[in-house]
Structure 1
């Protein structure tokens, strides 16, 4: 295992020593502090609400930790990029434009002073992404940072399950897995598990990691995903991987073999375990409750039927806690409409369309496949999860996709370029006659 960590396994990073012929060297000039900044951004987006933890943590303390992580991330990113060198990024540019309706709607204070606080948080989040964009070169460096950090988060969930199974599988959540050490909800855990499973599978198919290191990540993550009973994350993982692997089928024999075996195994599982799969998928709910998406549809109907002024329709009501009438909205598009109006919906839609369009125009590659997986996963999850309009893990997933779709930076030549020699007049070439 130690050799895997040094030679390119997932927890240890790329094979910088070049011990494998297909190893990916670490991008020159990418400081290690960039990985710390990315990890702090992930910590900031974990949230401060969720299940009861084994050791009660005051919400104010958690908010201080998450907001402190964002401030530290911005400060470190600024320290490592003092010259303010950015790479052109349509994704971060559109996020910057999203700040405009957010500030305009939040300035009315209809959502309270918390709206201005959330605007400040979003501004710091976007600013940090601008500072990190200097190192977006289409490589897999940020993919490894992403997997490592979320695997650490899932490690805390697994530790809480071992320490106190009753707290990790509470009855209030229907026996679904929650974070017992840090307040994480089942959808959050399912999202993190699904994302790192999909990225790890793609790294294996691209021969960027070995099977043992991949199994260390995939197997426990699959167990945690199953314990959360999160349907959105499961469907996002399956559909996202299908689209990503489909983009590699024409150029990768490993992708073709994996796709074939996956289809066969899925067929056998659907036939032999159909009743068990149906029971897991329904989670003990009635058909009526399942059809209205666990009560979400009623909240959506009430939100759309609420009276609004023209300004509210265009700019929204201000950044809030993604709820309506005290109930969670659980839909990114309606949450954006509620908080940032139609202008916000148009900008978020432009983000998805631009990233998807760029991914389709790129030639087949592992980076493109990872980006397709992330974009499709976020698009699927946006139907039953909120987060595309504010600092959230979904915006980080899309930022990772944007970094994978960035064109490789042109390398600075090591040798000094040829400089035209100055023209010497003829009289200076004549030797002096004494």
Structure 2
């Protein structure tokens, strides 16, 4: 496959995919935005992303990818379960959206070469999203921290929930920190991303994102410790600071972690466990167990499922769970077999973050930020494309007239 510089429009396509996965529900914004308008913008972004990707890759050159192959297979149970319209016409619409989403990733796979290109696109685009959150907090602090969400930070300009903001902040903090530890960016640029993102993460009071960030960084930096002195120094200082903070600010950390909830509510995962028990106890036919009931809004009886594995089981059945589990096995196995490198560390961070967040967040079975995180991990684990050697043409031979030729000596 030919190698070359990644076109700048690839970053635009990636930003449009991120815009498509922002969702259309959340907090009330300063300027009320009709849900139909938001859905028009997000779906239009996906259509434009696919069109741009196709224009950039008219010859349909793609990289072989087990990750994308498994996502393509995930469309099979999605379409089968949605075809009977038990979940309404919206299920088929979501299948079309997932197909267009995966198709765009296939077109972009041409530029998956193990470089941090898509990591940088990921950081830039999500940081731009967080800038809108910060702007909303400055414009209207009351709307950005409403009582409805317990004073947690939400999107006041675009309807974003605290878990969404926490997820975006945690992911780009981890990636930026790994880039600066591996000396692939300067400290000033990393600080401009990490410091404000960390402040927004704290204001969201999102426990899943915080734990995912800590666990993901621990595994990622651990994978660099044998080959990077900077990683070893950072890991040692981080452990020391964490121990001091745990002793000095134990009560404050405990209060932040509980978010004013009772111990019973905390142990019940803010009511999630009741929804999970009801979902598992609901009667299902053999077909519904195997293929699910069709792509929906990741809810059960009007309540959010907030668990990727149960959401996939509910909508895409046991086949969907097997395919999503295989995605993690394949990506994790490839990451473990690769030698230590910054790309491997970033991939380990993203894979471990998504695996931990899947317990309390849904999205692994449909077009979502989590699939984009895993797509970045897949791009980091891809082998560099082999450059096509250039063949230098031989200069044309000069034709010598017959009368000017040297006579042969016999």
Q: TM-score range by the shorter chain?
A: over 0.9
Shift of 1:431: 7.1
Q: Could you say which residue in structure 1 is the equivalent of 2:250?
A: 274
2:401 aligned residue: none
Question: Could you say which residue in structure 1 is the equivalent of 2:113?
Answer: 137
Distance, in Å, in 1 between the alignment partners of 2:86 and 2:335 is 39
Counterpart for residue 23 of structure 2: 47
Q: 1:11 maps to which residue?
A: none
For 1:207, the equivalent position in structure 2 comes to 183
Give the Cα separation in 1 of the matches to 2:224 and 2:218.
10
Counting only pairs closer than 5 Å after superposition, residues 242-253 of structure 1 correspond to structure 2 as: 242-253=218-229
Q: Could you give the per-residue CA deviations for residues 172-202 of structure 1, whole angstroms, max 9, x where no partner exists?
A: 0000000000000000000000000000000
Q: Given the alignment of the two structures, is residue 393 of structure 1 paired with residue 366 of structure 2, yes or no?
A: no
In the TM superposition, 1:396-411 aligns within 5 A as 396-411=372-387
Query: Which of 305, 326, 329 in structure 2 is aligned with 1:329?
Result: 305
Report the counterpart of residue 7 of structure 1 in structure 2: none
Match of 2:356 among 380, 384, 387: 380
Instruction: State the 1:28 CA deviation.
Output: 2.7
Pairing 1:262–2:242 present: no
The whole-number CA distance in structure 2 between the counterparts of 1:247 and 1:360 is: 9
Q: Hey, what's the Cα distance between the residues in 2 that align with 1:134 and 1:200?
A: 24
- Work out whether 1:229 is the aligned partner of 2:224: no
Match of 2:334?
Answer: 358
| Number of matched pairs | 398
Aligned twin of 2:398: none
Task: Give 1:267 shift.
Answer: 0.4
Q: CA deviation at 1:412?
A: 2.0
Q: Distance in 1 between matches of 2:20 and 2:274?
A: 31
SS of the residue corresponding to residue 156 of structure 2 reads: coil
In 1: Cα distance, 2:375 partner to 2:203 partner: 28
The answer on 1:71 being equivalent to 2:63 is no
Task: Show CA shifts across 1:225-252 (max 9, x none).
Answer: 0000000000000000000000000000
Structure 1 residue 417: deviation in Å? 8.1
Shift of the alpha carbon at 1:30? 1.2
Identify the match of residue 170 of structure 1 among 146, 151, 174: 146
Please tell me whether residue 349 in structure 1 is matched to residue 330 in structure 2: no
Q: CA deviation at 1:413?
A: 2.1
Aligned to 1:22: none
Unaligned runs of 5+ in 2: 395-404
Rate the CA distance shift 1:163–1:249 in 2: closer, same or farther, 3 A.
same
Counterpart of 2:89 in structure 1 is 113
The CA RMSD over aligned residues, in Å, is: 1.5
Residue 425 of structure 1 corresponds to none
1:319 corresponding residue in structure 2: 295
For normalisation by structure 2, the TM-score amounts to 0.95
2:147 equivalent to 1:186: no
Match 1:217 to one of 171, 177, 193: 193
Distance in 2, matches of 1:430 and 1:364, equals 65
> Following TM superposition, by how much is the alpha carbon of 1:29 offset from its aligned partner in structure 2, in angstroms?
3.0
Q: TM-score, normalised to structure 1's length?
A: 0.90
CA shift for structure 1 position 432: 8.6
- C-alpha distance in structure 2 between counterparts of 1:319 and 1:308, whole Å: 16
Match of 2:72 among 65, 76, 96: 96
Shift of 1:415: 4.2
Query: Which residue does the alignment assign to 2:399?
Result: none
Q: Indicate how the Cα distance of structure 1 residues 104 and 417 shifts in structure 2: closer, same or farther if over 3 A, else same.
A: farther
The 2-side partners of 1:300 and 1:430 are apart by 95
Taking the aligned partners of 1:57 and 1:328, their CA distance within structure 2 comes to: 22
Deviation for aligned residue 1:416: 3.1
In structure 2, the residue matched to 1:8 is none
Aligned residue for 2:61? Answer: 85
Q: Deviation digits for residues 147-180 of structure 1, max 9, x if unmatched?
A: 0000000000000000000000000000000000
Q: Distance in 2 between matches of 1:200 and 1:149?
A: 13
* Paired residue secondary structure (1:247): helix
